Amino acid sequence: MEIKASQPKMPATVAAELLGVSIQAIHKQLKILDIKCPKIGNKSYITHAIAKKLLNIKFKPKKVAFQIVKGGTGKTTAMHNVSCAASLYGAKILAIDLDPQGNLTDAFNINPEETPTIIDVLEEQANIEEAIIKAEEGIDIIPSRIENVTLDSKLALTRAPLHNVFNNLLERIESNYDFIFIDCPPMIGHSVAAASLYVDIMLIPLNPDRFSAKGLQILKDEIKNIKKQYKKDLNYKIFLNKFSGNTILSDKALQTIFNDESEKGNTLNTAVRQSQEIPNVIDQKLNLFSSVKKSTAKDDFDLLTKELLEIEITKNK
């Protein structure tokens, strides 16, 4: 079977390291499972379907909203690559694109004109199953297109109870997935509030610039308002994105913000470093995990994925 160029891939050598065994032991196990390992050149790799059988990881199901009130932070790129990384551990992912710009939909090379979106499901012009399509092996997506710009007005006009919007839309299919990710538009509105009330955690990328810090403060103020109105705790985690060693620490305001959030337990340890590889793979309509080559960007997103989703691999003894 021909494998798409964009298909996420994990080198067999990396799987061996994760399990604490030799590459020969990996090939032996694959032979026992009657699985033929695909190759690029002389490098063997595993895909989502192989990882599911080989790694056999028990996941803690989690729903995550990727959001911040500022464009250009790398939010969508983070969701795209976290989805791909998680799929390589055998996790089944549902990615939901809420942003009318449809950047996540485009990143997965999906034509949104051919599929219903969330607004179509909300208006009962399609059911949720019809809106879900396969993006990559192990990753399904509900795409977005410009019509999703009417989501907020639709929710306002119908006076939909925001804390139940996504529960009602997704309850039939939730159990089909280990993780559900929502890519939110960079704004405050009814749809973002509904997503915030639905998920277990919000993931917020913080860039080393003051505009990003302002976006974070606006989002935190909105989180307080939603908490007060709906009497529900909303959890969020911040990670440093587009980071280089001397940037965040050189700005005292940003350093203070990050230190304050760290003390509250709202930060992740993983920082994603600035890398030219990231825009390069976007231009090529690929993801960081499409290649079996080593890279710092891939390592960063892999670590971010494992920390965010609490993925633990049991090494063979």
In a domain, 12, yes or no: no
Q: Are 188 and 178 in contact (CB under 8 A)?
A: no
Domain count, the chain: 1
In a domain, 22, yes or no: no
In a domain, 1, yes or no: no
In a domain, 33, yes or no: no
* Measured distance CA(281)–CA(292) in Å, rounded: 13
In a domain, 238, yes or no: yes
Q: What is the 3-state secondary structure (H, E, C) of 58-93?
A: CCCCEEEEECCCCCCCCHHHHHHHHHHHHHCCCCCE
Q: How confident is the model at residue 246 (pLDDT cuts 50, 70, 90)?
A: low
| CATH code for position 297 | 3.40.50.300
In the chain, DSSP finds a helix count (H) and a strand count (E) of 14, 10
Which structural domain, as residue segments, surrounds residue 200?
58-309
In a domain, 19, yes or no: no
Tens of pLDDT along 44-83? Answer: 999 999 999 999 999 999 999 999 887 788 899 999 999 9
Tens of pLDDT along 17-45? Answer: 999 999 999 999 999 999 998 999 889 99
In a domain, 32, yes or no: no
Length of the chain: 317
In a domain, 17, yes or no: no
Q: Are 49 and 137 in contact (CB under 8 A)?
A: yes
What tokens were used for 279? Answer: 């825009």
CA atoms lying within 13 Å on the CB side of residue 290: 19
CA atoms lying within 13 Å on the CB side of residue 88: 30
What is the average pLDDT across 196-215? 88
Q: For residue 249, with 0-12 CB atoms within 10 Å meaning exposed, 13-18 middle and 19 or more buried, which class applies?
A: exposed
